[in-house]
Amino acid sequence: MRVGFVGWRGMVGSVLLERMRAERDFDHLDPVFFSTSRAGGASPDVGKPAGPLRDANDPAAFAGLDAIVTCQGGDWTNAMHPKLRASGWRGHWIDAASALRMKDDAVIILDPVNRPVIDDAFARGTKDWIGGNCTVSLMMMGLAGLLERDLVEWMTCMTYQAASGAGAQNMRELLQQMGEAHLAAKPLLATPDSSILEIDREVAGILRDDRFPTEHFGVPLAGSLIPWIDKDLGGGMSREEWKGGAETNKILGRGNSVRQDAEAPGAGATHAPPPSRAGRGIHDGKPPIPVESICVRIGAMRCHSQAITMRLREDLPIAEIETLIAGAHEWVRLVPNTRDESIRHLTPAAVTGKLEIPVGRVRKLAMGGHYVGAFTVGDQLLWGAAEPLRRMLRILLAH
């Protein structure tokens, strides 16, 4: 299989290559690397010759490839995908960007959760395989055991999202902001009996200072948070919040009969994805699950966390709920709902760089036996971005 890689030197692309090298994926395919800015330069070292970098803006350079894996971004996808398809190129398109995600003939790939959908779509000739929104993928990886059994009647996901979701420059800016905040307080911190209120005044002062580095986030994140992620859709909903409902239901194949504008959902967007021509869903034909969120950026580096409230269709004992969550697939880890276990194992610091998806704080809520709370954490560059793409390549190789 001859596979073209675009966007491999970006943040998601770098994690993808790292994982592909670790899993020896390159042993099974012939890679060709592309760049929009460095055509003719050297390809990355993947243990076999790949030739010089090809021009990612030249449709002819993709001729003869069986698959393209792109982490280049939505603008490039929007520019090149229609051109290549119009030119008759019929290879598989595996994409980290959201541009094609809600298209009727594209499948959102998260194989530990929706492998039957992927296999069904493959059999029907689907060629566009798109990674899901990181927050949605991580939530579904954590709660797969409940979602697959159709136990969730509705849910809210209150998110605590890392800087990496906004891009590499934002991660750098978060650290610069942390440094500036520390610098402002440093002389006072060095004096053990300095007043904590004075320290706090210094930090608040620098956060509000015009010279505080906010070029990428627009506002301080260090020492603060940002309660809005992605575009404003009007009606009080952010695009990130809309994705929670739309993508969860598309991945499950729910609500197919309800149409909505997939490109630019407006105020009051429904929770239903557009009808799928790509393949049958796990819950085909069932009504969409309402998923509501308030998505918040916090000062973590690359792990997203989510506090979940759900109403289950059945009043199950907590032990059974835990067993279902823990048994869904090999990456989910149930963290016992105790203080020590939670603060040690259910944090971005503990999970960063790992494939495991811990789920903890599982307990019944005061509203009644059907109501359950949970908290989950995941590395948004692994299961939230790169891992579903490399696994899709493996699925194609196996077919």
Which of the residues are catalytic? 134, 304
- As a whole number of angstroms, the distance between CA 7 and CA 349 comes to 27
Least distance in angstroms from the C-beta of 352 to ligand NAP:
13
97 binds ligand NAP (CB under 6 A): yes
Least distance in angstroms from the C-beta of 199 to ligand NAP:
33
Cα 211–chain centre separation: 32
- As a whole number of angstroms, the distance between CA 13 and CA 324 comes to 33
Among 3, 17, 65, 96, binds ligand NAP (CB under 6 A): 96
Pairing of strands 332-334, 152-161: unpaired
H runs (alpha helix) in 191-317: 196-207, 239-252
139 binds ligand NAP (CB under 6 A): no
Give me the residue whose beta carbon is nearest to ligand NAP: 10
149 binds ligand NAP (CB under 6 A): no
Among 68, 71, 106, 109, binds ligand NAP (CB under 6 A): 71
Which CB, 33 or 331, lies closer to ligand NAP? 33
Least distance in angstroms from the C-beta of 80 to ligand NAP:
12
Kindly give, in sequence order, each residue whose CB lies less than 8 Å from that of residue 295, ignoring residues fewer than 6 positions away.
135, 159, 161, 228, 229, 230, 238, 240, 241, 244
Give the DSSP letter string of 191-217: STTS-HHHHHHHHHHHHTSTTS--TTT
37 binds ligand NAP (CB under 6 A): yes
161 binds ligand NAP (CB under 6 A): no
Which CB, 98 or 376, lies closer to ligand NAP? 98
Least distance in angstroms from the C-beta of 10 to ligand NAP:
2
Selection from 312, 271, 368, 361 nearest residue 154 by Cα: 312
Least distance in angstroms from the C-beta of 390 to ligand NAP:
13
Selection from 168, 154, 140 nearest residue 384 by Cα: 140
4 binds ligand NAP (CB under 6 A): no
The H or E element that residue 93 is part of is strand 92-95
Among 3, 4, 5, 9, binds ligand NAP (CB under 6 A): 9
12 binds ligand NAP (CB under 6 A): yes
- As a whole number of angstroms, the distance between CA 39 and CA 54 comes to 5
Q: Which residues are bridge partners to 311 per DSSP?
A: 154, 371
Which CB, 7 or 145, lies closer to ligand NAP? 7
Which CB, 135 or 376, lies closer to ligand NAP? 135
Interacting residue ranges for ligand NAP, rule: CB under 6 A? 7, 9-13, 35-38, 56, 71-74, 96-97, 131, 134, 164-165, 167-168, 380-381, 384-385
